[in-house]
Amino acid sequence: MKKILLFSTVALSSMFFACSSDDSSTPTEDNSQPKKRVVVAVLDNEGNVLNAQSADANTTKDYVIAGSGFQHRVLIEDFTGAWCGWCPRVTQSIEDLEKTDNDKIIGIGLHNGDKFAFTPHENNLYTAIANKIGVDISKGRSFPFAVLNRAEQWEAATSNTMKTNQALALAKNNSEIGIKISSELGDTSGKINVSLKFNASYSDLKYVVYVVEDNLILAQENYTSNFGGKGKKKEFVHNGVVKAVNDVNGVTVTNSTSGSEFSSGDISVTYKKFENK
């Protein structure tokens, strides 16, 4: 996920960037600097995402209550690269959703072929999801490729946008699964703790933990009319860039009965330090 970097003082002071968490920023926070977050998804026994949540790094985000359950958010996994000229239509659609329905979706970017490449996990996950949802990649991979809750491919509406209603159709008023996230993340390593609460009983659940980073600058090819029109965008801000994962296919949840609470314990993560130059 990414967007054009605006240079005017007014634009920078009012910037709200894609793939941000629900946590409010303080007036003194510098949103022009890279910022890490943690994204957690809970998968059912078929590998579909049941719920997802995002939290700023080095904070604790408690369970978010919604109605009789917990906040529900749809996970959008965008397989992308700075070389991919049609990928900005996915970015544009995620940003559109974040402006109107940020409490319902979480978008993350799994890069390949650029300096933010998430190897080898991006290729492995692309292949696994494509096989799962019936996308034929026998003749090679195709981009843009974005998936909703690992259950279906996000379809294009036009050459510039995706079908936002398709993503919102998967959103629910609440979830029976709550997600709590805490982390201590440094420049290249850290630890994360995830807790899950259940209002219903489940079997064979797994959870995936991503470390992502916002506000990373890298030139982006653009064949769409988004972001000021066609042409390579030299000062392009990439958000939700995946840096680390516990296991892209998920780690087993050992207790998911109604009324119970599961804790992952400390999850150690390491990752590259991305530089804006």
Half-sphere exposure in the Cβ direction for 226 (13 Å, CA): 26
pLDDT (tens digit, 9 = 90+) per residue, 127-160?
A: 999 999 999 999 999 999 999 999 999 999 999 9
Task: Count CB neighbours of 269 within 10 A.
Answer: 19
pLDDT (tens digit, 9 = 90+) per residue, 34-47?
A: 999 999 999 999 99
- Tell me, rounded to whole angstroms, the distance of Cα 243 from its chain centroid: 11
Collapsed DSSP state (helix, strand, coil) of residue 85 = coil
Predicted confidence (pLDDT) at residue 6 exceeds the cutoff of 50: no
Q: What pLDDT, on the 0 to 100 scale, is given for residue 1?
A: 61
Q: Which one-letter DSSP state was computed for residue 238?
A: E
Q: What is the mean pLDDT of residues 3-26?
A: 39
Q: What pLDDT, on the 0 to 100 scale, is given for residue 214?
A: 96
Residue ranges per structural domain of the chain: 2-19+34-270
Distance CA 171, CA 151 (A): 13
Q: What pLDDT, on the 0 to 100 scale, is given for residue 201?
A: 98
Q: Exposed, middle or buried by CB within 10 Å (0-12, 13-18, 19+), for 145?
A: buried
Q: What pLDDT, on the 0 to 100 scale, is given for residue 193?
A: 98
Predicted confidence (pLDDT) at residue 7 exceeds the cutoff of 60: no
- Residues comprising the chain, all counted: 277
pLDDT (tens digit, 9 = 90+) per residue, 189-224?
A: 999 999 999 999 999 999 999 999 999 999 999 999
Q: How confident is the model at residue 276 (pLDDT cuts 50, 70, 90)?
A: confident
Distance CA 171, CA 104 (A): 6
pLDDT (tens digit, 9 = 90+) per residue, 15-65?
A: 333 333 344 433 445 567 999 999 999 999 999 999 999 999 999 999 999
Predicted confidence (pLDDT) at residue 258 exceeds the cutoff of 80: yes
